[in-house]
Structure 1
């Protein structure tokens, strides 16, 4: 090889390197520790080029949904839908409140990766969302959100061609009707529709017909409850009888029933437009709610018990009517890789989660699930009392946080039937959920090997 030819080859090599580096630089930055998780199971479960509807019902406990065993008539329409879908019995939120859990739901990563952990945090531009991925692959992307935090100001409009923020948080009729109108106008498009309903979040003020449906025998005065009353209950300024506490739970259930009524109208529209046949529909939640099980009442965000973390996850794939109840531990971080796997089974999956396609085919994946919160009870009560008024008035301003700031956190890991909680103060709790589903018997001093194994996992998370 002549010296000139050698020099020419070296020059071409450096040009190629610079060209590649340039394109990597101008693209949206991805986290440096991305996992490329291969899809599980066989690839027969697919829905190429199907539409996608992802519905997030804020503050919906799995154990208050009929298909998960609840006895009150809260969700007849969701239950009917679930009878033709995959129902995940052990789905966990990645945080006990809205912003971080939606970060996981829409990116496939745990919230700490993007420092989306406080009410004032912003989902950064380098967070690649499912809407961005689908938009780049020919999908028309639209969102309807009625909730605080899931807003354009806090970064959640990334990838959506249209991002609708509805002003009335708890108007289930409005978000349902606007979504239906959009479907009627765009039924022939290949689309991704994301709906976030805040209807089941406090305050509770359901319509009379749904209160009577849930709690027809009530003889008291309490037909609604506002934010200030909830703060007073949780700061011991107000003492309610057990009868009135049960009434508040009924108000919550009535809000669920009211929302479910509009689910029925939404599902009918999908059937009338024949969209059920070529649409992946996912119903889930970002977290649950606490009603006195571990101290708080009609409040969430600061503790990591199952009433706050165990959420519904129901997936229907096009015209496939495969009803199956799946026991695997799964997480909100699994939603993005599952969607991508179903619409394009050969695509690489970049996520903290894993495609759930294998679980549809009875594949058992013995994995751990994690959750965390940086919001203590005192901090969140202050946010509720002061911050929500700012949100309602439109004066709430998120801000970019110093990412080197170390936040005190509470963390949770569950593997198989054992669950470890590391609290803000450093104390530990260990529960055997198979024998103690209410998390009332702390086994931290009784099971040293399990404790050490879960401590290692939670420290490496």
Structure 2
């Protein structure tokens, strides 16, 4: 906003100067030049306004226009009351002051690095260097590492799908783990999905189902529970939905989201990235940078019990993997790295052909391969420090991604399995169990499962799902329970219920429903609502009971209403850069 205001004041200064000169006794400037001065200023201002605010919306534009009108009125008053020798320096000083404040605000972290050298990764939340005597050994408390990969479909890393991507690092981790092949996320986009994963609560309980929602204070996170048990806790990664404003940092001693200092997404940041790509490698830290921060944090805390949550944004779009992970890097359609392109596809204004759709899937696969290579470095560090064998390592994703299987693209809009099915691995301490479990389970169960593995007390009645531990300790008595999903971001609210190999999808706004036999129709193409009304009725009953349980649990936890956060202008623009347009 300061850049825009500085532009308006510059315009006002030139207008005041032109008017003052026209009133002075000297006639050095021709009438045409006097007119061109303010017009040129307005043109410059228009360019600044377009670059800085084209994605912000009408409210910011209206505010900018109001600021410009006030600046214009003030400039006319100054021009009428003061001589040019006073008016121009006065307004010029104001221009320079606003410009300097804006530059410091937009590029403060960049200025810090320029003067003092690069910061340690993670900014204010960076892991301190190990300079004191080593801490005591962790004893019987195993290290806990939770790795979540944004937008990772299950069929890209599990099973025998032709679309499966070579991921040797994840394959090796899976070979040492209990792997749930039919895990489903509780929500189809990041904020509600990861809030559930980190709390064990359904989206209908924690309420993190819109862009401005923040985690309620009454909710206890996995990090809070582990810190209370004596663990050092750290969170490292990238996604604007996970920043401190939304309270995902609850319980973390160190919280670096983004993983390293970023330089904003304004004009100044783009100039720095364009002319100093090595020092300022881009708006967002890539997966390589996130992995580096995670490795440094692990090394700093290797001699104490720790819990590290590592979240990488790739393969979330923009799909821009490094060239070495693409078979045909020169064929990349760069426009798929622009938020406007994705928004146009979501709205149906741009209609990619089959060849381009296949290319998009190839770019996505390249990002998956890139992520696998970088996570290999983190896992190698655990092995190097003799932490891997005794660590509890959990691998999961927040949601999948649709590539036109049901006529649309991306995520957040449906509850079909291409968006809900995610990988879920538990590498247990000592690797005392390795198994493949094909039962349908929910990511709601992650938090109670971790607490169960670690032997930490919790109240099962205050969780939305049961622990998964019986599936490998006592599989004969493990019970399959109905799974639920909610919290769509686009196109109306939906609910999904998975029970007895069947899936019911409800559209709350229209009352429309679909019923699928997942064993015979895993792609969810043929609804059986008309043919199996009794199963539809059972699904509706389960959904109603689940809704009532969620409302009861909210009451028991003392959650009143949905908490919201003032994300701030910069974070709002980051969310829009990730494709989350609108205000809810």
Q: TM-score category by the smaller chain?
A: 0.7 to 0.9
User: Whole-Å Cα distance in 2 between the matches of residues 78 and 256 of structure 1?
Assistant: 10
1:428 aligns with 2:516: no
Match of 2:499 among 386, 402, 415: 415
Aligned to 2:482: 368
Does the 8 Å CA contact 2:390/2:431 hold for their aligned counterparts?
no
1:278 aligns with 2:390: yes
Aligned to 1:452: 537
Does the 8 Å CA contact 2:414/2:488 hold for their aligned counterparts?
no
User: Whole-Å Cα distance in 1 between the matches of residues 539 and 213 of structure 2?
Assistant: 29
Does the 8 Å CA contact 1:94/1:371 hold for their aligned counterparts?
yes
Aligned to 1:100: 192
SS at match of 2:187: coil
User: Whole-Å Cα distance in 2 between the matches of residues 53 and 221 of structure 1?
Assistant: 34
Q: CA 1:312–1:139 in 2, change beyond 3 Å: closer, same or farther?
A: same
Aligned to 2:243: 151
Q: Which runs of 5+ in 2 are unaligned?
A: 1-138, 263-282, 547-584
User: Whole-Å Cα distance in 1 between the matches of residues 488 and 354 of structure 2?
Assistant: 31
Match of 2:343 among 224, 227, 231: 231
SS at match of 1:431: strand
Q: CA 1:73–1:115 in 2, change beyond 3 Å: closer, same or farther?
A: closer
Does the 8 Å CA contact 2:179/2:437 hold for their aligned counterparts?
yes
User: Superposed, which structure 2 residues align to 1:57-456 within 5 Å?
Assistant: 57-66=149-158, 69=161, 72-166=164-258, 167=262, 169=284, 171-212=286-327, 216=328, 220=331, 222=333, 225=336, 226-297=338-409, 299-320=410-431, 322-344=433-455, 348-349=459-460, 350-361=462-473, 362-363=475-476, 364-377=478-491, 409-423=493-507, 424-456=509-541
Does the 8 Å CA contact 1:110/1:352 hold for their aligned counterparts?
yes
Q: How many residues align?
A: 380
User: Whole-Å Cα distance in 1 between the matches of residues 347 and 488 of structure 2?
Assistant: 20
SS at match of 2:240: coil
Q: Who wins on radius of gyration, i.e. which is larger?
A: 2
Q: What's the CA shift string for 1:248-267, capped at 9, x where partnerless?
A: 01101111110110111111
Q: CA deviation at 1:376?
A: 2.4
Does the 8 Å CA contact 1:144/1:164 hold for their aligned counterparts?
yes
Q: CA deviation at 1:74?
A: 3.6
Q: What's the CA shift string for 1:15-35, capped at 9, x where partnerless?
A: xxxxxxxxxxxxxxxxxxxxx
User: Whole-Å Cα distance in 1 between the matches of residues 511 and 160 of structure 2?
Assistant: 33
Q: What's the CA shift string for 1:166-201, capped at 9, x where partnerless?
A: 245460001101000111111011011011111111
Does the 8 Å CA contact 2:320/2:367 hold for their aligned counterparts?
yes
Does the 8 Å CA contact 1:66/1:75 hold for their aligned counterparts?
no
Does the 8 Å CA contact 2:498/2:504 hold for their aligned counterparts?
yes
Q: Which runs of 5+ in 1 are unaligned?
A: 1-46, 378-407
User: Superposed, which structure 2 residues align to 1:1-40 within 5 Å?
Assistant: none
Q: Which has the larger strand fraction?
A: 1
User: Whole-Å Cα distance in 2 between the matches of residues 144 and 70 of structure 1?
Assistant: 33
Q: TM-score, normalised by structure 2?
A: 0.63
User: Whole-Å Cα distance in 1 between the matches of residues 145 and 249 of structure 2?
Assistant: 16
Does the 8 Å CA contact 2:397/2:422 hold for their aligned counterparts?
yes
